[in-house]
Amino acid sequence: MKLVSRFAALALLAAPFTVPTAALAHTKVVASTPAQGSTVARPRVVTLTFSEALLPPTAAASIVMTAMPGMANHSPMIIRNFATAWSNGNRTMTLSLRQPLRAGTYEVRWQAAGADGHRMKGVVNFVAS
């Protein structure tokens, strides 16, 4: 009986330091089209699939051209010609471009809050040829 009481006391002392695994998980991109680091021909659609359902009002993405062939010191240029749609239970964000992306290096910069309310952000890089 005394051993059980000591074990119970230790469990109570350790309780404030244990955090459920779900609380430690944060939103991240688990798949994208174009894929991270890939080279694709003039994409018209960019998709980001996240590790959990997002709250769409807290989510945003931007497509930024970071380099252009033949242009040294190309300043980052934000691409604004796309519409955003959600699918897969708010886990997939689709950016549909009105025109294909020109040749260059791109970053898709995203930010979002998951069900736990934590704001996360990240970048997916690809090259359009």
Per run of 10 residues, the mean pLDDT along the chain (length 129 residues) is: 51 48 71 98 97 93 96 92 96 98 98 88 97
pTM (predicted TM-score): 0.79
Q: How far apart are CA 52 and CA 91, in angstroms?
A: 6
The pLDDT score that the predictor gives to residue 18 is: 46
Determine the pLDDT at residue 96: 98
| Confidence at residue 74, expressed as pLDDT on a 0 to 100 scale | 85
Strands 104-113 and 119-128: antiparallel
> Does the domain spanning 26-128 belong to CATH 2.60.40.1220?
yes
Listed by start position, the domains of the chain span 26-128
> CA-CA distance, 43 to 10, in Å (whole number)?
57
